[in-house]
A and B are shown apart, each in its own frame.
Chain A
């Protein structure tokens, strides 16, 4: 294994990943390493293949060819729940929250805590853990029992990210986490994302906002029409370079 030479083995390695739908190429030949505690931004115009990539990493689609390694081990996820059981969490653009349920039930959606021989729901534990987590991440919601529908967009996104944090062991994929939010709320969500770095989790973020990308990320990866144009250290590049990589116009 070539990566054994590096100090820290990457959490996720994508090698020559290729995806075609019925002959139509969606992602050409994509390779990327993600390390723990690192935020990598994936940028590109609509239809560049970002969503397809996220779906391959999260197990929704299998790559046509190429390899995905998690902690150095080849993986092929049968479906999204397998990827999730391996510690990969996704925060979706449309939030994937159940609106009429309280925060704590969303935090544990599909993975509810149970107790006793009858496996009844352990609401107490779920509420306590939720409260602890939202306090740590400074997601300001009225209570763990608050109903999602009564929360603001920023609070909801905060809950969605907190949920991913609760379950992610390796990697969080953020798909346009602030697309629907106002300035103040975006600011709040970005603060939450920054705190995730300290948890030693790798983060892959998709965003249309280059300002945001430059504020948050360590590296930027550019896609154009399914082709990987390049990866840059955020500190060593500027907006002009990234824009010309995205558009193909220099």
Chain B
């Protein structure tokens, strides 16, 4: 009883929007594409697999936005992490490759965070600059070449493997969402992140170490981008400088549609997951409908516009 009440309380109105929108679009595709393989297990699981890296980036982005900051650089971090992992794994075992990939993400997040938290530079400008900086680094690291990943343990762990019949990418997504949700909603740290984004002055006088929170959220974003990079590398069995580059808009749309406020103080990790799945489902369904590429872009843009308009109107901003 209490559990049910607390669940309904946590899901306030704009959360329903993303769930209802998700269900409506799902139902639409299920009906119109029933003969085109949309509802097959393979296709539905593909949607989750394909969105796994974006979902994990989106979780990091929820933390950053909630704290009133922004991270535009996570796409570049994804590429650098994937390449770092792939290059290291050419000569070293998997564990060191994973450490290199995640370490690269955390280190770049730390760098962003130092500039934002302690030099008080606006995160928009800092990460706009580091977006270019690390995109360039990703290109020069391997001179634009793709690096193959031939470590079977790694590609299984992060890409094609499965546990009890569940693909590893789905497990990574679930794990990241559960842990992200717990930290965001159920810990003091999460509460401090949200308070910092809502009213940094109030957070400061309440004893919250605001700079430390800002540093932490940018590191979380970097770490999530690093993990996303490893997932990409596992899935493609290779790393390339373009990985993550085109995810910025998808992730922003997923997070906003999922009920996270652009200017901080409010967010949802579960909403970001559903938003990300919604984006993936749109890509998938529109391709299966046989639309031309330009028409796919137009329809996707319109649907995102409607979804964002509804979810923002309901938050009253």
Residue numbers of A with Cβ under 8 A of B are: 80-81, 84, 90, 92, 94-101, 105, 109-112, 114, 118-121, 123, 145, 149
Given contacts A97-B202, A105-B191, A121-B187, 6 further A-B contacts (CB under 8 A): A90-B205, A99-B265, A101-B195, A110-B203, A110-B207, A120-B187
B235 at the interface (CB under 8 A from A): no
Establish whether residues B265 and A101, one from each chain, have CB atoms under 8 Å apart when the complex forms.
yes
| Chain A residues positioned under 8 Å from B227 (CB to CB) | none
Instruction: Say whether, besides A84-B207, A112-B191, A114-B188, A97 and B199 are in contact (CB < 8 Å).
Output: yes
Q: Identify whether the interface residues of A are mostly helix, strand, loop, or mixed.
A: loop
Task: Tell me, in angstroms, the Cα distance from A109 to B185 when the chains sit together.
Answer: 14
Q: Which residue of A lies closest to B315 (CB)?
A: A100
B42 at the interface (CB under 8 A from A): no
B245 at the interface (CB under 8 A from A): no
Q: Which residue of B lies closest to A112 (CB)?
A: B188
For chain B residues 82-140, which have a beta carbon within 8 Å of chain A?
none
Q: Which residue of B lies closest to A90 (CB)?
A: B205
Instruction: Say whether, besides A111-B207, A114-B188, A99 and B182 are in contact (CB < 8 Å).
Output: no
Q: Which residue of A lies closest to B186 (CB)?
A: A120
| Neighbour of B182 across the interface among A81, A95, A112, A120, CB < 8 A | A120
State the Cβ distance, A86 to closest chain B Cβ, in Å: 13
Residue with the greatest number of chain A CB neighbours at <10 A, chosen from B188, B208, B266 = B188
State the Cβ distance, A179 to closest chain B Cβ, in Å: 17
| Chain A residues positioned under 8 Å from B246 (CB to CB) | none
Instruction: Say whether, besides A81-B207, A92-B205, A99-B265, A109 and B195 are in contact (CB < 8 Å).
Output: yes
Could you write out 23 A-B pairs with CB less than 8 Å apart?
A80-B207, A84-B207, A94-B201, A96-B199, A96-B201, A98-B202, A98-B265, A99-B199, A100-B261, A109-B195, A109-B206, A109-B208, A110-B206, A110-B207, A110-B208, A112-B191, A114-B188, A120-B186, A121-B185, A121-B186, A121-B190, A123-B6, A145-B9
Instruction: Say whether, besides A92-B205, A109-B203, A111-B207, A99 and B9 are in contact (CB < 8 Å).
Output: no
Task: Tell me, in angstroms, the Cα distance from A144 to B210 when the chains sit together.
Answer: 25
Task: Tell me, in angstroms, the Cα distance from A90 to B265 when the chains sit together.
Answer: 23
B80 at the interface (CB under 8 A from A): no
State the Cβ distance, B281 to closest chain A Cβ, in Å: 29
Task: Tell me, in angstroms, the Cα distance from A13 to B268 when the chains sit together.
Answer: 48
| Neighbour of A121 across the interface among B191, B201, B207, B265, CB < 8 A | B191
State the Cβ distance, B311 to closest chain A Cβ, in Å: 15
Q: Which 5 A-B pairs have the closest CB atoms?
A: A110-B206, A98-B198, A96-B202, A81-B207, A109-B206
B interface, size bucket? 20 to 34
Q: Identify whether the interface residues of B are mostly helix, strand, loop, or mixed.
A: helix
Residue with the greatest number of chain A CB neighbours at <10 A, chosen from B6, B9, B195, B266 = B195
Task: Tell me, in angstroms, the Cα distance from A115 to B48 when the chains sit together.
Answer: 34
Q: Which residue of A lies closest to B201 (CB)?
A: A96
Establish whether residues B187 and A119, one from each chain, have CB atoms under 8 Å apart when the complex forms.
yes
Task: Tell me, in angstroms, the Cα distance from A111 to B195 when the chains sit together.
Answer: 12
Residue with the greatest number of chain B CB neighbours at <10 A, chosen from A99, A101, A149 = A101
Task: Tell me, in angstroms, the Cα distance from A119 to B186 when the chains sit together.
Answer: 9
B194 at the interface (CB under 8 A from A): yes
What 0/1 pattern do residues 148 to 185 of B give for CB contact below 8 A with A? 00000000000000000000000000000000001001
For chain B residues 15-31, which have a beta carbon within 8 Å of chain A?
none
Task: Tell me, in angstroms, the Cα distance from A145 to B10 when the chains sit together.
Answer: 11
State the Cβ distance, B5 to closest chain A Cβ, in Å: 11
| Chain B residues positioned under 8 Å from A80 (CB to CB) | 205, 207
Instruction: Say whether, besides A110-B192, A112-B191, A98 and B203 are in contact (CB < 8 Å).
Output: yes
| Chain B residues positioned under 8 Å from A149 (CB to CB) | 316
| Chain B residues positioned under 8 Å from A145 (CB to CB) | 9
Establish whether residues B182 and A96, one from each chain, have CB atoms under 8 Å apart when the complex forms.
no
| Chain B residues positioned under 8 Å from A119 (CB to CB) | 187-188
Establish whether residues B207 and A98, one from each chain, have CB atoms under 8 Å apart when the complex forms.
no
Establish whether residues B191 and A96, one from each chain, have CB atoms under 8 Å apart when the complex forms.
no
State the Cβ distance, B256 to closest chain A Cβ, in Å: 15
Establish whether residues B194 and A101, one from each chain, have CB atoms under 8 Å apart when the complex forms.
yes
What 0/1 pattern do residues 30 to 74 of B give for CB contact below 8 A with A? 000000000000000000000000000000000000000000000
State the Cβ distance, A173 to closest chain B Cβ, in Å: 12
State the Cβ distance, A168 to closest chain B Cβ, in Å: 14
Task: Tell me, in angstroms, the Cα distance from A97 to B199 when the chains sit together.
Answer: 7
Task: Tell me, in angstroms, the Cα distance from A70 to B306 when the chains sit together.
Answer: 59
Task: Tell me, in angstroms, the Cα distance from A114 to B261 when the chains sit together.
Answer: 26
| Chain A residues positioned under 8 Å from B203 (CB to CB) | 98, 109-110
Q: Which residue of B lies closest to A123 (CB)?
A: B6
Task: Tell me, in angstroms, the Cα distance from A233 to B249 when the chains sit together.
Answer: 65
